Structure 1
Amino acid sequence: MTEIVNTAQFEAWNGYEGEYWAGNHDRYDAVNRGFNEPLLTAACISDGDRVLDIGCGNGQLTRAAARRAGSGSATGVDLSGPMLGRARALAAAEQIPNVTFEQGDAQVFPFLDNAFDAALSRFGIMFFADPMAAFANIARALRPGGRLAFVAMSPMPGTDLGAVFGAAAAHLDTFAVGAAEGQFTDPERIRNLLSETGFRAIDVEYREVEGIWGNDIPDATEFIMGWGPLHYHRSLADFATDDQVRQAISAALAPYVTPDGIRLRVAAWLVSATTALP
């Protein structure tokens, strides 16, 4: 494992958060897999490409990129030991020979210069402690004219997720689903960040993708109850309001019942860019 500077996230993703995601990899993939094809298309992944997946988690997107790259390769980098263990096991089970996974911090990972043709991230870039350092490091790892594509959560209010998590927040004093803050919530801030770290041809597009959150209301409710931030705020309340939180989530999920499960739309910014040519 290489140097880690993002210590708070390292602790989270090697503790409860990482264990929960690794243990529920299929469920999180069912929620987020709708972004895979838009990302692969935005990054123009094709045969022979060398692809980097930042914050690869359980590796579903990395494996999809490896298949698309064919004679090329895909490398996933993540802080989380539990999720990387799951990613390696799934890649072996699916017999994907051109994929590798590394534990490390993308802000300081010692990538070789010009080592990749494209870089992807499915929400993994949202957890950088120093986004400026991270994207400068990613830009260095890409060849001139290399492609970047990632998705980041857009503000939650007014979305399906906002309705569900807002219902839970009504019973948790420390949990607020309001106007989000941060580097990746506003398109102009995203453009400025990428421009300052060496990227060009920057495009930011609002995208909604439908994900499956459970087989039925009880199933989806228990999955959401264990979601990292919600679990954290439940713990701050000593789990005293769990009955109310569970009932609120169940009621909020009712409009999203379909014959094949609970379907919620996940809203995100789909961002693409390239590094400068010589």
Structure 2
Amino acid sequence: MAGLGPEAAAQLASVPRGNTQKHVNRDVLAYLLGHQAARLDQPVRWLDLPCGQGEFLGQVRRFFAQPQLWGADVRPAAPTVPGGLAGYEAADLSRQFPFESGPDFDVITSISGIMCFANTAQFVGNCARRLRPGGLLLVSNDNCLSLRDRLSYLFGGRVRRFRLLFEPDEGNFQLVQHQELKRLFDINGIRLTRVEYTAHYTEDLLYLPLALLLWPWQWWQLRRLRSSTDWELRRQLFGFKSLLHRHYFFVGEKVGGAQEEK
């Protein structure tokens, strides 16, 4: 929360966790307040997918002055959000995309959603299609690159957030790797501008000695890899934090807008 005033930092400290890892909602809002406040302190059309019980949209209403909020989820009834929603649709996001008509959105967020439904490629493509040029797409996901997940896969055959066998009604079943999510941003005209890691737990410091041993090898691979991805973005994607933090979020901007992130 560097760069934010003490009042904003104190308010962010009380942001509820919601249905995601701890500090995810807080750190997403802190990033937007610190880096996108100028474009968000005006009327914006903001869509959250899936919106759950509206915890995140309620905080958007709290921190930004004039958002027009939309949401969609499998729940038949709209969540209760302070100030109300401009629109809500009950939708299975693996099969359909809401709000196909009307003006494009300025911001689309998906907090811990893409692990809960299939057809990730279709979902990101639809988000890109319904964003206005220069609009923001922010997607958060559990981090499968952490040492805890790597060891879980080595010894248990699965990354930590996913069971070895799925039930028909499984809640989390879609493993989306960083590389694939970045590729989906690229091919759909969403320029990835920032990768942030969050949800660091004190108990994960147990993996710090192993992380310090692994990091030089990972750094060397990053430096020598031939890729169109520049060094700064590589560092954000696969930096030291990726070995210890449990969650991350991508921030992208739809190509064609006049505004660039500073």
Question: TM-score, normalized by length of structure 1?
Answer: 0.54
Matched with 1:207 is 197
Alignment CA distance shift 1:27-1:271 (3 Å): closer
Matched with 2:83 is 96
Is 1:195 matched with 2:190?
A: no
Structure 2 distance, partners of 1:211, 1:46, is 32
Is 1:34 matched with 2:13?
A: no
Question: Residues 196-275 of structure 1 correspond to what in structure 2 (within 5 A)?
Answer: 196-199=187-190, 201-203=191-193, 205-210=195-200, 267-275=246-254
Q: 1:66 Cα shift?
A: 2.7
Q: 1:276 Cα shift?
A: 2.1
Structure 2 distance, partners of 1:120, 1:184, is 16
Identity %: 18
Matched with 1:125 is 114
2:90 alignment partner AA: Q
Q: 1:179 Cα shift?
A: 10
Alignment CA distance shift 1:109-1:27 (3 Å): closer
Is 1:177 matched with 2:159?
A: yes
Equivalent position SS for 1:126: coil
Q: Which has the higher helix share?
A: 1
Structure 2 distance, partners of 1:102, 1:69, is 23
Q: Kindly indicate whether the alpha-carbon contact (under 8 Å) linking 2:70 and 2:88 is maintained by their aligned counterparts in 1.
A: yes
Structure 1 unaligned blocks of 5 or more: 1-24, 213-251, 256-264
Equivalent position SS for 1:150: strand
CA deviations 1:108-136 (Å, max 9, x no partner) are 32422543111111111233311221112
Structure 1 distance, partners of 2:159, 2:114, is 21
Question: TM-score, normalized by length of structure 2?
Answer: 0.56
Structure 2 distance, partners of 1:179, 1:125, is 13
Alignment CA distance shift 1:158-1:269 (3 Å): same
Alignment CA distance shift 1:38-1:270 (3 Å): farther
Matched with 2:134 is 145
Select the residue among 87, 92, 97 that pairs with 1:105: 92
Alignment CA distance shift 1:191-1:47 (3 Å): same
Q: Kindly indicate whether the alpha-carbon contact (under 8 Å) linking 1:67 and 1:96 is maintained by their aligned counterparts in 2.
A: no
Structure 2 distance, partners of 1:274, 1:140, is 12
Structure 2 distance, partners of 1:211, 1:30, is 10
Q: CA RMSD in A?
A: 4.0
Structure 1 distance, partners of 2:134, 2:47, is 15
